[in-house]
Chains A and B, each alone.
Chain A
Amino acid sequence: MIRITQQRAKCIGCNACVEADAFRWRISRRDGKCTLVHGVEKKNFYSVLVGDDEYESNVRAAANCPVNIIKVEKIRA
């Protein structure tokens, strides 16, 4: 399993994470910021647990993020 975390308030809506993984990331047309699909909010941080198959693309999404608000970590199931 991996956990993806996003500090959404700091997102500048550049779309770079969507380019890396269009399944997990979607830009909101309401506020122009990116939404972590199925992410659950806790104190302004959104996170979701997903399968290992999404690891690579989301590491890329994290590396792409110009404001470094995405974190991807492997966790034990």
Chain B
Amino acid sequence: MTQNKIELMAPVGSFESLHAAIQAGANSVYFGIEQLNMRARSIANFTTDDLAEITAICRQHEVKSYLTLNTILYDHDINLMKSIVDTAKENKVDAIIASDYAVLNYAKQQGVEIHISTQANVSNIDTVEFFAAYADVVVLARELSLMQVAAITRDIKRRNITGPSGHLVQVEMFAHGALCMAVSGKCYLSLHSDFASANRGACIQNCRRSYIVKDKENDVEFEVDNEYIMSAKDLCTIDFLDEMLKAGVSVLKIEGRGRSADYVFTTISCYREAIDAYQDGSYTKEKAVAWKERLATVFNRGFWDGYYLGRKMGEWSDVYGSKATKRKMYIGKGVKYFDKAGAAEFKMEAQTLEPGNEILITGPTTGVVQATVTEIRVNNLSTAIAVKGDTISIALDHKIRASDKLYKIVDA
């Protein structure tokens, strides 16, 4: 069994998520700036001006930073693409995640490390060999089985396929998150219905809705019962992570740049623990059950094992949106933190809070803090219930800030 270091890569769409990923133990993070990435529609996208801060935070915590630049590019995008690559180089981004040949070519000329994006749908060893001229890390298509993945990683060693660094090409796989109904990204539904190209990061996710089939001849409608027939369940590999790693995968990527900071925190924490357990030999299926329960508390469309275990047909979700077992309710905002007392002050703006409640605090500097409330004080008096309008203080080990939001975690 190989004991190489396994890299856990987290999706980051905001500074909250960036700190959450670092706190939860990610080895690397990936993010997009401006419009040339697969989450172009996301309102949470970073701008070029954020890049210096992101890379500085990553360096400070010894976490690698990868910039996604993986849409289809048109002629008019080339200047922007080049300026993004240049800015990435200036800010010492560790690698650019790309699929368009123009990006590969330019980034290579500039000496910027490249990782191949899932948009390239790499599915065989010869394609890996082709991309090895540009990239040291290649993500394999999510539609491969682990048997195929293992054959590819074996052949990389056997054929000594090395990247520009001179080391063997590393294989990366998606370990968790949303799956596309089409071979990743090769879908035109959104383009046909709304001119919104999935391949420009503007997918409107038609596949996530329910549909009716209509017989045109006699006007009979069939509703497809209980299933969103194009909406794939979310990939979850935590209960066979040992097999993923035995197949020679050395980078595990978590999907979800559009997800919230608490999603990033929970998924990265679970996979961090699972990878560490695998490496110290304490990974068990019992532990996996517990991790999966925790993963189910944040956004998910129900879990399945994807195509990794050899399935040809997809499993479809039976809900619109999330099946998360927990949900968060916004109840207030941060005021200040008293270092000496170890107490955090919040202003309640909605709902109520009682001792025993689980809370979640997120913020652009704080990241994610989860805690259980023991005692609530209003005007320095202990109270059984805090309501909207109250300024409360609670004991907390973590510093909070005025930019933080306070949530109560409840059963969904």
- A12-B35 CB under 8 A given contacts A28-B76, A66-B202: yes
Report the Cα distance A49→B190, complex, angstroms.
32
Is B409's beta carbon under 8 Å from chain A? no
A29 pairs with B79, CB closer than 8 A = yes
Is A64's beta carbon under 8 Å from chain B? yes
- Which B residues lie within 8 Å of A63 (CB)? 195
A66 pairs with B77, CB closer than 8 A = no
- Which A residues lie within 8 Å of B385 (CB)? none
B76 pairs with A67, CB closer than 8 A = no
- Which A residues lie within 8 Å of B80 (CB)? 13, 30-32
- Which A residues lie within 8 Å of B77 (CB)? 13, 32
Report the Cα distance A15→B76, complex, angstroms.
9
- A66-B196 CB under 8 A given contacts A11-B35, A12-B40, A32-B35: yes
- Which A residues lie within 8 Å of B76 (CB)? 13, 15, 27-29, 32
Q: List B46-78 residues whose CB lies under 8 Å from chain A.
A: 74, 76-78
**In chain B, what residue has the closest Cβ to A65?**
B195
Q: Which residue of the partner chain, among A11, A13, A66, contacts B194 with CB atoms under 8 Å? A: A66
A15 pairs with B74, CB closer than 8 A = yes
A67 pairs with B36, CB closer than 8 A = no
Q: List A10-55 residues whose CB lies under 8 Å from chain B.
A: 11-16, 27-33
Q: Which residue of the partner chain, among B41, B78, B79, contacts A12 with CB atoms under 8 Å? A: B41
Is B248's beta carbon under 8 Å from chain A? no
A12 pairs with B202, CB closer than 8 A = yes
Report the Cα distance A28→B34, complex, angstroms.
14
- Which B residues lie within 8 Å of A65 (CB)? 195
**In chain B, what residue has the closest Cβ to A31?**
B80
B195 pairs with A64, CB closer than 8 A = yes
B196 pairs with A67, CB closer than 8 A = yes
How many A residues are at the interface, by size bracket?
A: 10 to 19
Q: Closest CB of chain B to A36's CB: distance in Å? A: 15
Report the Cα distance A27→B35, complex, angstroms.
14
A16 pairs with B79, CB closer than 8 A = no
Is B197's beta carbon under 8 Å from chain A? yes
Q: List B11-35 residues whose CB lies under 8 Å from chain A.
A: 34-35
Report the Cα distance A11→B35, complex, angstroms.
8
A66 pairs with B195, CB closer than 8 A = yes
- Which A residues lie within 8 Å of B40 (CB)? 12, 67
Is B201's beta carbon under 8 Å from chain A? yes
A14 pairs with B197, CB closer than 8 A = yes
- Which A residues lie within 8 Å of B36 (CB)? 13, 32
Report the Cα distance A30→B197, complex, angstroms.
22
- Which B residues lie within 8 Å of A27 (CB)? 76
Q: Closest CB of chain A to B78's CB: distance in Å? A: 8
**In chain A, what residue has the closest Cβ to B199?**
A14
B35 pairs with A33, CB closer than 8 A = yes
Report the Cα distance A31→B84, complex, angstroms.
10
**In chain B, what residue has the closest Cβ to A15?**
B74
Per-residue interface assignment for chain B, residues 76 to 101, with 1 indicating a CB less than 8 Å from any chain A CB and 0 otherwise: 11111100000000000000000000
- Which A residues lie within 8 Å of B190 (CB)? 66
Report the Cα distance A36→B105, complex, angstroms.
32
Is B204's beta carbon under 8 Å from chain A? yes
A13 pairs with B202, CB closer than 8 A = no
Report the Cα distance A1→B226, complex, angstroms.
50
Q: Closest CB of chain A to B12's CB: distance in Å? A: 20
Interface residues of A (CB under 8 A from B): 11-16, 27-33, 63-67
Using A12-B201, A12-B202 as known contacts, list a sample of 4 further A-B pairs with CB atoms less than 8 Å apart, ordered by residue number in A. A16-B195, A31-B80, A32-B34, A32-B76
20 A-B pairs with C-beta separation under 8 A: A12-B35, A12-B40, A12-B41, A12-B201, A13-B35, A13-B36, A13-B77, A14-B195, A14-B200, A15-B74, A29-B76, A29-B79, A31-B34, A32-B36, A32-B81, A64-B195, A65-B195, A66-B194, A66-B195, A66-B204
Interface residues of B (CB under 8 A from A): 34-36, 40-41, 74, 76-81, 190, 194-197, 200-202, 204
7 A-B pairs with least C-beta separation: A66-B196, A32-B80, A27-B76, A12-B35, A12-B40, A66-B202, A32-B77
